[in-house]
Amino acid sequence: MGTAVSLATENGGTVCAVVVGSEVKKYTDELIYWGADRVYLVEDQLFENYNNELYTKVLQKLAEKYDPEIILFGSVFDRRDLAPRLAARLGTGIISECNDLYYDEDKTLTAEKISFGGRFSGKVVFADGTRPYIVTARPGVLRGSRDVNRTGEVIMEVPDAGPQDMMTQIRSVAQAAKKVVALSDADIVVSGGKGAGGPEGFKLIQALADKLNGVVGASRMAVDLGWIGYEHQVGQAGATVKPKIYIACGISGASQHIVGMWESDIVIAINTHRYAAIFNFADYGIVGDMFEVIPKLIEELDK
């Protein structure tokens, strides 16, 4: 929403939001508070569970009806799945995983991307004649502002999709959904890597995060080893974070991890290896064992 409001301010236009689901009308006011002038609401029990075919059909029909200039998605799990399929249906292009999106001096929509694990950055534009522009942007790269005094229009849309459009169905759920971890919105993130040594190490990291009213993150290595759930992963294949303080505990500093946290305001690194790559990105570096350093930090915070 922050990106959409910024683009509308730069080049004129109306900020619209689309809500698809079951019993989701409750979200319309919040979207208006965050900048939507108009909210299109598609509400039906059929949309209770995310289904790519159904959601694509709904958004395709809305796009054909209202002809938007830009369709913007947050670059998170289901929308990474949905956006390219919608682009194919509409016969248009897509720019994915943007770190910034704006109109340049020639009023050309321009996206900035970081690629290959942070090794390269570049600017990307759409080919002439491309409409609508479809973009996925990393969450948190441009934060908006909330105004409870804003008003907007809510438009009920009849879903032009049904069971006949579903090639797949959810028969049952074998495992409960993972808990939601608000990494992208956190002001303080305390992350652990291979140096955490196992699940016990993450209990210590959790204790520090709790003391700071922060959330726990993790490197891909820690997640792959099964020490903590995927919902905590920060990096190229996980969440992008932009906290005020990022504390990296036992994280080596691989480029795939750095790309997910490099925009943190302040980075504090704790690592036993003096020449670990993470220190190249740290504002403050502590060469030491996290199992000795973290308890001392907690002790000082208790004072």
Whether 178 is covered by a domain: the verdict is no
Please give the structure tokens belonging to residue 259: 């790309």
CATH number of the domain that residue 62 is part of: 3.40.50.620
Q: How far apart are CA 248 and CA 219, in angstroms?
A: 9
Do 56 and 145 lie in one domain? The reply is yes
- What are the Cα distances from residue 223, in Å, to 77, 162, 191, 220? 17, 38, 11, 5
Whether 175 is covered by a domain: the verdict is no
CATH number of the domain that residue 234 is part of: 3.40.50.1220
Do 129 and 269 lie in one domain? The reply is no
The pTM score is 0.68
Do 200 and 85 lie in one domain? The reply is no
Encode the chain (303 residues) as per-residue pLDDT tens digits: 888 999 999 888 899 999 999 999 999 999 999 999 999 999 998 888 888 888 999 999 999 999 999 999 987 777 888 999 999 999 999 998 888 888 888 888 999 887 665 567 889 999 887 889 999 987 666 678 899 999 999 999 988 777 887 888 778 777 655 556 678 889 999 999 999 999 999 999 999 999 999 999 999 999 999 999 988 999 887 888 889 999 999 999 998 899 889 889 999 999 999 999 999 999 999 999 999 999 999 999 999
Do 33 and 137 lie in one domain? The reply is yes
What is the pLDDT at residue 141?
Answer: 65
Cross-strand bridge partners of residue 124: 111
What is the pLDDT at residue 185?
Answer: 81
Do 157 and 228 lie in one domain? The reply is no
What is the pLDDT at residue 178?
Answer: 54
What is the pLDDT at residue 263?
Answer: 85
Residue type, 179: K
What is the pLDDT at residue 260?
Answer: 87
Q: Is 251 left (phi over 0), alpha (psi -120 to 50) or beta?
A: beta
Do 41 and 93 lie in one domain? The reply is yes
Do 265 and 143 lie in one domain? The reply is no
Q: Residue 204: name the closest of 265, 112, 294, 110 by CA.
A: 294
Whether 177 is covered by a domain: the verdict is no
What is the pLDDT at residue 134?
Answer: 95
Q: How many domains does the chain divide into? A: 2
Do 152 and 211 lie in one domain? The reply is no
Where b means 16+ CB within 10 Å and e means fewer, 58-81 reads: bbbbbbeeeebebbbbbbeeebee
DSSP state, 162?
-
Whether 100 is covered by a domain: the verdict is yes
Q: Which domain holds residue 280?
A: 188-302
